[in-house]
Amino acid sequence: MNLNLIYRDIKDRRVSMFMMSMSVLLYALVIIAIYPVFAGNAAFAQIFKQYPKALLSLLAGGGNADFFSPAGFLSIEFLSLWWPIIVGAYVMTLATAIVAKEINDGTMDVLLSQPLERWKLMTSRLAADVTLIFALDAVTMVGIWLFARAYAVEISTKGLFATGILALSMFIFLECLSLFFGMIMDRSKALITSITVFIGSHLLNALSDLNKTVAKFRWMSFFKYYKPAAALTTGEVPWKDVALFLGLAAAFAIAAYIAFRRKDIPAT
Amino acid sequence: MAVIKIDKLTKYYGASRGVEDLSLEVKQGEIFGYLGPNGAGKTTTIRCLLGLIFPTGGKATVMGHDIVHESFKVRQNIGYIPGDLNLYPKMTGEELLEYFSRFRPDKPAVLKDDLVTRFDLDLTRKTKELSRGNKQKLIIILALMHDPDLLILDEPTLGLDPLMQKEFYKVLREFQARGKTVFLSSHILPDVEKTCERVGIVKEGKLVAIEDVKAVETKKIRHIEVTFLDTVKKEEFDIDGVSVIQANDHEFKLKVKGKIDPVIKVMAKHQVADTIIEHASLEEIFLEFYGEVTR
């Protein structure tokens, strides 16, 4: 690892990281603040009963949706879809910046003309990104914990911890997947491909509840292994899913390095 | 001792040629010019030496280290000026130099202050605010500040004004005086002439000649347009190496290969109203002296 690179990367991203944290916290605050109003209103329950199953499944990211428990509401309105979308987009942007952005910007020439091994460049930047992802994940969970107490919404600390661990592993997987795409294609294509995989994965998972043929392919969706509602409710870390995400992350990181090790850096 | 030793280096980008069967040696303490028109393969050679791209065939060593398997060791003692100038736009000059100096903890930036003074560069400004010339100065300081043993320079004077170019060549000669080696790539013949002893000439991906720089001097081509106030006979320019392209009694267009002195002496016998002397492009010189490269 190269501390110079790690420090620089974190410093460069401090503003975007702050903005992202504020956005996520604000969103979490709104969701938690409206939950008591929502839960105590019988009319809402009637309306939601009439919602098509497909829509509920889409919002919940697949599986049964319980809008009226604190954990279910938070999961459906925030942790299952919108939060992964917001943080996922940020993660994909970070990951494709590790190598692809420097190549696109033409700054990789000077950087790689320094006595810096390629594996160190990649792992240091990956470490910087994982630090940022961890911070964003932690800020979100701590924020939810504080807001939940402020609005007397029952969200368990253990549940938040378990969800935080699961989400962190999923975002690290996303980071490594996008990093790999960034090694084998230019940045814009890598971003588009990552977003396509992300959206496709979510749709595959959501539609699996509605169609038996689609359900056969559900295992291919990484959202199948990301179940924040269960983690929030039980307070148990789904270690098998976490291990799967981290295993896949390691595989994509290794594949990314293999691609980078002998990658020609094109002149701009 | 050869600081750079290239043996049948070949690089293809898919089907298109970068360099082919290129072999040359650069000795310690020399300033070696690497001359060729745009697209000849100069940058490809340099990028291979630095491990930015990987050869399709052949091999090369820099300071005894294999460029593919020991690229890290190669880069430990090199200063590199890239042909394409891209810097981190949000960093100031000072931050940029600090950032890169930390990659070489065992090689402090001993020449930084001296170079900043000599190139008169304001390091407090962000690189995005710098002019092309000032960016070039910054990249020169970045490449030279840790006093490397080998400088690999790709079109290093682009964007520099003549005064700064002069200072730059002075710095290069100081490096040479301290036993350092310089590999200078350029498509501008006069740039190479000013500093180099030997010149490798590359065309269409192949090394067509390695010449003493004095030999290259004799291959210089100039275009002269001269207007006389008095009448001048065409026959007066029947000089070896001089072709009269266009002529009337007062106006002449000449092409001069090699020494210009005999032409100046003829012109001096008459009353000259105006004259323009231009160096031929490298492409023209190459066509004239090195012809087509046989494949």
DSSP states along A4-22: HHHHHHHHHTHHHHHHHHH
Q: What are φ and ψ of residue A151, in 5° steps?
A: -105, 10
Chain B residues with beta carbon closer than 8 angstroms to that of A105: 86
* A-B contacts (CB, under 8 Å): 62
Identify the pLDDT of residue A61.
Answer: 57
Average pLDDT, chain B: 89
Inter-chain touch B100–A115, beta carbons under 8 Å: no
Chain B residues with beta carbon closer than 8 angstroms to that of A106: 84, 86
Separation of alpha carbons A136 and A144, rounded Å = 12
Inter-chain touch A265–B47, beta carbons under 8 Å: yes
Inter-chain touch B75–A114, beta carbons under 8 Å: yes
Inter-chain touch A268–B13, beta carbons under 8 Å: no
Nearest-by-Cβ selection for A4 from B13, B51, B102: B102
Nearest-by-Cβ selection for B103 from A106, A109, A114: A114
Query: To the nearest whole angstrom, how far is the Cα of B84 from the nearest Cα of chain A?
Result: 7
Give the model confidence (pLDDT) of A144-162 as tens digits: 999 999 998 888 999 999 9
Inter-chain touch B84–A109, beta carbons under 8 Å: yes
Query: To the nearest whole angstrom, how far is the Cα of A103 from the nearest Cα of chain B?
Result: 10
Closest chain A residue by Cα to residue B88: A107
Give the model confidence (pLDDT) of A233-250 as tens digits: 889 999 999 999 999 999
Residue A1 pLDDT level (bands cut at 50, 70, 90): confident
Instruction: Give the global pTM.
Output: 0.84
Q: Which of A85-94, A118-127, A169-178, B155-164 has the lowest mean pLDDT?
A: B155-164
Residue B290 pLDDT level (bands cut at 50, 70, 90): low
Nearest-by-Cβ selection for A264 from B43, B54, B87: B54
Nearest to B19, CA basis, from B232, B228, B205:
B205
Q: What is the mean pLDDT of residues A53-73?
A: 70
Q: What is the mean pLDDT of residues B151-176?
A: 91
Q: What are φ and ψ of residue A188, in 5° steps?
A: -65, -40
Give the model confidence (pLDDT) of A74-98 as tens digits: 888 899 888 999 999 999 999 999 9
Identify the pLDDT of residue A52.
Answer: 74
Most confident of A51-55, B81-85, B282-286: B81-85
Separation of alpha carbons A224 and B213, rounded Å = 69
Give the model confidence (pLDDT) of A95-134 as tens digits: 999 988 888 888 999 999 999 999 999 999 999 999 999 9
Identify the pLDDT of residue B283.
Answer: 65
CB neighbourhood size of B262 (10 A): 15
Residue B52 pLDDT level (bands cut at 50, 70, 90): very high
Identify the pLDDT of residue A63.
Answer: 57
CB neighbourhood size of A126 (10 A): 24
Chain A residues with beta carbon closer than 8 angstroms to that of B142: 110
Buried b (16+ CB within 10 A) or exposed e, B48-82: bbbbbbbbeebebbbbebebeebbeebbbbbbbbb
Which helix H or strand E contains B183, and what residues bound it?
strand B181-186
Best A2, A10, A109 member to test B by mutation, with max B CBs in 10 Å, is A109
Looking only at the bridges linking them, the beta strands covering B57-62 and B2-13 are antiparallel
Give the model confidence (pLDDT) of B63-103 as tens digits: 999 999 999 999 999 999 998 888 999 999 999 999 999 99
Separation of alpha carbons B152 and B181, rounded Å = 9
Identify the pLDDT of residue B131.
Answer: 92
Kindly give, in sequence order, each residue whose CB lies less than 8 Å from that of residue A67, ignoring residues fewer than 6 positions away. A38, A48, A56, A73, A76
Inter-chain touch A113–B139, beta carbons under 8 Å: no
Q: Where are the alpha helices (DSSP H) in B50-131?
A: 71-76, 93-101, 112-119
CB neighbourhood size of A27 (10 A): 17
Q: What is the mean pLDDT of residues B233-243?
A: 90
Could you tell me if A99 and A124 are in contact, meaning their C-beta atoms sit under 8 angstroms apart? no
Best B81, B86, B99 member to test A by mutation, with max A CBs in 10 Å, is B86
Q: Which two tokens stand for residue B141?
A: 């300081």
Closest chain B residue by Cα to residue A265: B52
Residue B50 pLDDT level (bands cut at 50, 70, 90): very high
Separation of alpha carbons B266 and B233, rounded Å = 11
Q: Is the pLDDT of residue A141 over 80?
A: yes
Nearest-by-Cβ selection for A107 from B75, B87, B142: B87
Chain B residues with beta carbon closer than 8 angstroms to that of A112: 50-52, 75
Query: To the nearest whole angstrom, how far is the Cα of B2 from the nearest Cα of chain A?
Result: 21
* DSSP 8-state secondary structure symbol assigned to residue B67: T
Identify the pLDDT of residue B294.
Answer: 40
Q: Between A268 and A166, whose confidence is greater?
A: A166
Q: Between B295 and A262, whose confidence is greater?
A: A262
Q: What are φ and ψ of residue B35, in 5° steps?
A: -115, 135
Q: Which of B87-101, B184-198, B236-250 has the lowest mean pLDDT?
A: B184-198
- CA B138 from chain centre, in angstroms, equals 18
Identify the pLDDT of residue A17.
Answer: 93
Q: What is the DSSP string of B208-219?
A: EEEEEHHHHHHT
Residue B220 pLDDT level (bands cut at 50, 70, 90): confident
Identify the pLDDT of residue B292.
Answer: 52
Chain A residues with beta carbon closer than 8 angstroms to that of B139: 110
Identify the pLDDT of residue B191.
Answer: 77
Best A15, A112, A113 member to test B by mutation, with max B CBs in 10 Å, is A113
Identify the pLDDT of residue A168.
Answer: 97
Looking only at the bridges linking them, the beta strands covering B181-186 and B31-35 are parallel
